[in-house]
Amino acid sequence: MTRFVIKRLAAAVFVLVSISILVFLIFFATPGVDPAARIAGRNADQLTLQQVRATFDLDKPLHIRYVSMMKHLFIDRDLTSYVNRGAEVLPQLTQAIPATLSLVFGAAIIWLLLGLILGITAAGMRKSWVDPAIGIIGIIGVSLPVYWLGEVVNLITQGRLHATLFRWVPPLGYVPFTESPGGWFLALLFPWLTLSLLYAGIYIRVIRSEIVSLMQEDFIKTERAKGAGEKRILIKHASRMSLITVVSLFGLDFGALVGGSALLTEVVFGIQGVGRLTFTALQNFDLPLIMATVMYAAFFIVIANAIVDLVYAWIDPRVRRG
Amino acid sequence: MAEKLLEVKNLCVSFKTRKGVVRAVNNLSFSINHGEVLGIVGESGSGKSVSMSAVMGLIKDENAEITGEVFFNGEDLLKKSDEELRAIRGKDIAMVFQDPMTALTPVYTIGWHIREQLQLHSDISDKDAKARAIELLEEVGIPDPEKRVDQYPHEFSGGMRQRAIIAMALSLNPKLLIADEPTTALDVTIQAQILDLLERLRKTYNSSIIIITHDMGVVSELSSEVLVMYAGRMVERSTKSSLFANPQHPYTKGLMNSVPRVDRARTSRLETISGQPASLLNLPSGCAFRNRCPSAHAACTEQPTFISDSNGYGAACFLLTEGVRS
């Protein structure tokens, strides 16, 4: 197991370095494009261009430019945005990261709980009305677009009812946990519920169908012949086996969301997260910021996947080898 | 005469499907005494596995209809609730299935599986259960059991897994072991070892064994009595020796002739039974085997009765009655 962990982490580092090189090449070595002009923004004067060339070592060979860029990004952390007139890039990112992480982590806990509880219940009560009822809940969850649902939630909690029933709901936006844990929780409660509903719908369906097919397996027959009860078979065997699928699915979803896919939820609920930051950067063509957010997103997807693989090995002994 | 351990009377199993009613088992009656070995032989779809699943109460399909009586230690299993059956399954009647590769939950160790079997039916501590698991693994011939007990099913070879499954099945000293094609998925070299193991354990534990197979070789190694099934019916029942020496039913004869034998001159190609196994959805009238039977004649359009001697040995074929008449 230890060897597996080391190997997996080494692979993650390798992927991260490769991504940084790839991203760097796309931004700084695309033929026919002057990166200085791009970084400086539209209609920049000669002086600014000179300055850009100097800070990013753009007149030096490619590998030195790469090293210099990584130094700005990770060591000196002084990458500045020219479009935004000298605003430093990394502080914006370090402010956005906790917001996105809080949003996605909280939503993930809710959707995993909902998915597991309802998915297992539906599979276990396949012959009663409960299964189709849960199925309908799942379909509703999957079919409601996040931006629409979010706006409806806002309309209810921030609109006319805000004065009475929903007085306790804070105004839109993110409250850092360090500032006020209670405020953090209340501000994120509805974004969590909104974001998790979609994924809960997917997970309920995946977990249910996974368990239903696992219940046909030979090892379930063995358990019945051993005299194990149906409940024990459902929980200890079928549901336990279904976790293998859940974990691999979760790794992809979680990585993508942390990497910026939570954009719609962030916009609707006014949360200044990574998705929204990337979106603004793209609109303004703010190259240093785009680079930083892309690197960040890649970083989180790779980390999330590495963690998933480790959890995967922990819950499925068959992948531990090697 | 001592009380029979298991006595099955007029067992019928049918499934309602969209295409019609499938009569998987038809009027099956047999019994087995303490310490005996019964072989049930037949090709795929002859109802041998289904009948055993019905005995164990393992048929969960709501379209299934099961009638008849199954007396185990004098009590009718078919009248018991699921709860009562569960107390018997694994403890008094254990089962070993065909494919050891898929018969164990992959995420639990071998020791965990044996411990679960023990703890489902007795209050034994984790520590004692593990010690017992090691003992059992040693007994079924798994080398280095202290280490193997903590390994996962995928770390065991097929034969080793089947040994471990047999250890698990025998862990509570069941009165009856039902082995459903226990060697079919294994290498030929391993098959004989597993059969030897079963025979050795039968002697130590004095369990009765019902072994389901389509392999006459397995029958000859193990059984004392043999029951031949075709299309859901028992067509012949006999002791092993008389079955091999003098098969009565044309289907049994066909099965015998399709096994290569060293004690006969190799004169021609190996014989086969012509035609396809009868479809359970659309059984021919009368004897289900008549379309493939070399001795079929006019009388065969009626269902032949099972003609038996006082031991219950005999066959369901008109050739017997006519033989008696002439």
Average pLDDT over residues B129-150: 93
Helix/strand/coil percent split, chain B, to 5: 35, 25, 40
> In chain A, what residues touch B84 (CB-CB under 8 Å)?
none
Half-sphere exposure of residue B85: CA atoms within 13 angstroms, side-chain side = 21
| Residues contacting A144, CB < 8 A, separation 6+ | A197, A198
Query: Distance between CA atoms of B62 and B85, rounded to whole angstroms?
Result: 18
Q: Report residue B18 as tokens.
A: 């969209």
pLDDT digits (tens, 9 = 90+) for A27-39: 888 787 777 887 7
Is A117 a residue whose pLDDT tops 60? Answer: yes
> In chain B, what residues touch A127 (CB-CB under 8 Å)?
62
pLDDT at res. A321:
66
Cα angle, residue B134 at apex, residues B128 and B137 outer, rounded to 5°: 140
CATH architecture of A99-273: Orthogonal Bundle (1.10)
Beta-carbon neighbour count of residue B261 at 10 Å?
A: 12
Average pLDDT over residues A179-187: 91
Lowest mean pLDDT among B114-123, B225-234, B300-309: B300-309
Chain centroid to Cα B296, Å, comes to 29
Closest-CA distance of chain B to residue A104, Å: 29
Lowest mean pLDDT among A64-68, A295-299, B265-269: B265-269
Q: How do B6-17 and B20-32 pair as beta strands?
A: antiparallel
> Is the separation of the CB atoms in B94 and B174 below 8 Å?
yes
Are B106 and A317 within 8 A, CB to CB? yes
Are B103 and A229 within 8 A, CB to CB? no
> In chain B, what residues touch A225 (CB-CB under 8 Å)?
56, 58, 89-90, 94-95, 97
Is B280 a residue whose pLDDT tops 50? Answer: yes
Phi, psi of B27 (to 5 degrees): 50, 50
B91 near A CB under 8 A = yes
The residues in B 228-287 lying below 8 A from A, measured between CB atoms, are: none
Cβ-based contacts under 8 A for chains A and B:
66
Query: Distance between CA atoms of A246 and A237, rounded to whole angstroms?
Result: 15
Q: Report residue A240 as tokens.
A: 């336990």
Nearest to B86 among A219, A227, A316 (CB): A227
pLDDT at res. B62:
84
Q: Is the dihedral of CA B149, B153, B157, B163 positive or negative?
A: positive
Only one residue has tokens 């048929």, namely B59
pLDDT digits (tens, 9 = 90+) for A248-301: 899 888 888 888 788 899 999 999 888 888 888 888 888 888 888 888 888 888
The SS3 call for residue B28 is strand
pLDDT at res. A246:
93
Closest-CA distance of chain B to residue A198, Å: 30
Burial class of residue A42 (count of CB atoms within 10 Å of its CB; 0-12, 13-18, 19+): exposed
Are B88 and A227 within 8 A, CB to CB? yes
pLDDT digits (tens, 9 = 90+) for A223-232: 999 999 999 9
Is A55 a residue whose pLDDT tops 90? Answer: no
pLDDT digits (tens, 9 = 90+) for A229-242: 999 999 999 999 99
The residues in A 26-65 lying below 8 A from B, measured between CB atoms, are: none
pLDDT digits (tens, 9 = 90+) for B24-70: 898 898 989 888 899 999 888 888 889 999 998 888 888 899 999 99
Q: Report residue A71 as tokens.
A: 């130094």
Share of chain B above pLDDT 90, in %: 39
pLDDT at res. B317:
85
Beta-bridged to residue A80, according to DSSP, are: A88
Average pLDDT over residues A177-196: 92
Share of chain B above pLDDT 70, in %: 96
The SS3 call for residue A86 is coil
Query: Distance between CA atoms of B116 and B129, rounded to whole angstroms?
Result: 9
Is B221 a residue whose pLDDT tops 80? Answer: yes
> Is the separation of the CB atoms in B316 and B236 below 8 Å?
yes
Are B102 and A318 within 8 A, CB to CB? no
Query: Distance between CA atoms of B210 and B179, rounded to whole angstroms?
Result: 6
Lowest mean pLDDT among B26-40, B162-176, B268-282: B268-282
pLDDT at res. B325:
41
Query: Distance between CA atoms of B78 and A26, rounded to whole angstroms?
Result: 72
Longest dimension (CA), chain A: 83
Is B322 a residue whose pLDDT tops 70? Answer: no
Only one residue has tokens 């409660």, namely A189
Query: Distance between CA atoms of A176 and A209, rounded to whole angstroms?
Result: 39
pLDDT at res. A116:
96
> Is the separation of the CB atoms in B130 and B149 below 8 Å?
yes
Is B310 a residue whose pLDDT tops 50? Answer: yes
The SS3 call for residue B38 is strand
The residues in A 214-253 lying below 8 A from B, measured between CB atoms, are: 217-219, 221-229, 237, 240-241, 244
Beta-bridged to residue B226, according to DSSP, are: B39, B238
Which amino acid does the sequence have at B86? R
pLDDT at res. B21:
87
Q: How do B37-41 and B93-96 pair as beta strands?
A: unpaired
The SS3 call for residue B65 is strand
Is B232 a residue whose pLDDT tops 60? Answer: yes
Nearest to A240 among B104, B107, B117 (CB): B107
Is B1 a residue whose pLDDT tops 50? Answer: no
Strands across the sheet with B75-76, in order?
Answer: B20-32, B6-17, B64-72, B75-76
Is B323 a residue whose pLDDT tops 70? Answer: no
E strand or H helix that includes residue B40: strand B37-41
Beta-bridged to residue B225, according to DSSP, are: B38, B239
E strand or H helix that includes residue B66: strand B64-72
B63 near A CB under 8 A = no
Distances (CA, A) of B199 to A157, A280, B192, B309: 74, 76, 11, 28
The SS3 call for residue B93 is strand
> In chain A, what residues touch B87 (CB-CB under 8 Å)?
227
> In chain B, what residues touch A315 (CB-CB under 8 Å)?
107
Query: Distance between CA atoms of B40 and A108, rounded to whole angstroms?
Result: 54
Nearest to B91 among A227, A240, A316 (CB): A227
Nearest to A227 among B105, B107, B120 (CB): B120
Only one residue has tokens 């997970």, namely A203
Beta-carbon neighbour count of residue B126 at 10 Å?
A: 12
Query: Distance between CA atoms of A24 and B230, rounded to whole angstroms?
Result: 73
Is B2 a residue whose pLDDT tops 70? Answer: no
> Is the separation of the CB atoms in A102 and A184 below 8 Å?
yes
Confidence bin at B326 (pLDDT 50/70/90): very low
Is B108 a residue whose pLDDT tops 60? Answer: yes
Are A219 and B106 within 8 A, CB to CB? yes
Is B148 a residue whose pLDDT tops 90? Answer: yes
| Residues contacting A167, CB < 8 A, separation 6+ | none
Is B268 a residue whose pLDDT tops 80? Answer: no
Nearest to B120 among A228, A237, A241 (CB): A228
**Mean pLDDT of the residues in chain B:** 87
Is B111 a residue whose pLDDT tops 90? Answer: yes
pLDDT at res. B87:
92
Lowest mean pLDDT among A95-104, A262-271, B273-282, B315-324: B315-324
Query: Distance between CA atoms of B10 and B234, rounded to whole angstroms?
Result: 11
Lowest mean pLDDT among A132-136, B51-55, B68-72, B259-263: B259-263
Are A318 and B90 within 8 A, CB to CB? no
